[in-house]
Structure 1
């Protein structure tokens, strides 16, 4: 028996009444012998019962303590105990396990952390290209040839946060999502994934380097007051804007109809459209993308409609209101976001601007209202208007298509195949541009 259990037993015995022989002095006659035997037996039974009760109590307490400690250890496991490295290590382990489970570890080069750190000059701030979903993008020169690439370093939390307990899991899911989806995609207007690194120090993705910035950078070049920002790129000609819209529609048509299962990008924005040196557009950043499954119990559409039930995610100003209401993600959610991008191409304005009147804060609401009252010209980007009246028939046709894409009800929107066909038709419309061409 353990020492502290012996002490408890001794304490219990000390609390019992003393034996009969201790309760009589020499002035009293001793009780009869059969009384002595009964008292001793009773005392022994009481002591035995007390010891048994204490043993049972100790065993119950021990089991309870062990269960409590076991649950505590399980609860601490995801976040690990000390330092930020445990969170990163856990994320890297989960990512590596995911890649092995899906057989993806050999689909793309698995760069080492040291290789990518050297290629980005130690993730030098001077090499920063911008901030993507969940991470920062750096310019890298990959060994051995020094080929340029874009490396996205995902922002893992330094330690578990009570405010964002699942931040690490969300970022790890984004990393795995991009590797899983982009490994299967091949299209000239999608940014290509070249490799990855799942290291306890960082999760890293390696993409094509697209040297001419984002569509957002080219369109939203103005500063407050209407002037141009220092170093702003020149205005994009209308014919080039139209071609870029068709290129992104081609990428969406491929995602929705050209691969099985279909892919919903879920974050089609001008900041995720990258511009080549020759002004061709490429869609990137698949961190929020989802593979669509066949219809299930939560689908309310037709039998052939693909749907995914998930909490709404995306960028304000681009988020499909139907998806926001129903939690049902379909390809039409991408069509809505694309419609907002097309409105940006027409107007040169940001999708959300709190400087506008309250009812006009979102670009879709504002331009739709203008189209409905025949005042589209008031919101067309001035450089486009400056190209002459000959472009307006094309601008109006594109605006009308965007109007259909941003319909509140997804069933009223065209699909990506219809959008692409319409844009190609509009491209064939004659444009009376100064000098005879617009590109």
Structure 2
């Protein structure tokens, strides 16, 4: 079992009402292809049910809890209840769910995420103060749950094993601090910053911070030391505001007024290419190409060296790289989405993976999805981008949905009791 976890937020059954509008659904897919896929999935699902599975562990957490698995510990972070009971973090030993410790979380904050690092558990949330709403991170000892320290800000792991805390926003002055995880000792800090900042996460941690000052130059800083690596005024001639986006070794400066996008080499802020008359919402790392999501719901794939458009499509909303392939989604009605596999360099569709509620368990790890089974419960599948196939993992008959993936497990709402249960995924 790996300890790498991507935090997927609260465990609850509703959907984000503010999610980005999706592109229109494609039409005209032959019915016979759909029938073949359905028959194959039903056959595989039947074989999955035939073999016995371990009984699920019923979680003691209340609805709205956030869950995570770190090694042999199941961690359940319960929110404060309406009767003003304090939020708490509890640890249970896997696979049986034996209680290990529980600890109250200090301050009247609404906690929404946690990460493990260097023998600590870091819980992050927000609290309302005299200057408005700000974020808060609390460190607890992993072995005992003992309180260690707390500081303002949301937390990210740095590539050297330390932490980067970002605090502030629209109503609170922004600041950055690099601290050690054991004691919260500050290694470097900056204050009085614009809230417009970007970080580069290498998959092993953050190594770069980009600051976009309101009336000054853009700065690229080493996240480990805080040292300035490059500084330049990237504003257009009229002095208007710019937006920034960051992917791999490119920093994109976006002049939304003129629709001009300029790509800079990150550590030198040296111009690489410029494109005019393109209005983008955001950029995506698409492996061998750079993907831009435009304002007219189009996904464009660019050569990152020249800015040349390799292909474009209004069918796909998002894309995720895997080698020389991409997995893209086609929007639809309901909680699940249609996923396909594309050739990254040409945009050609290579496979149709079907419709799933998708969960990713770790960077470069398993992609697990669920969908309702026609006989009740949910079908669990693993999406294999390289092979362009879906491997049926299990059928969970006593589940209504409302699932969340954690390392090696699914946490779902049980049909009969309405409580959360922990199901071990088949290998």
> TM-score if structure 1 supplies the norm length?
0.21
Bigger share in strand? 2
Structure whose alpha-carbon radius of gyration is higher: 1
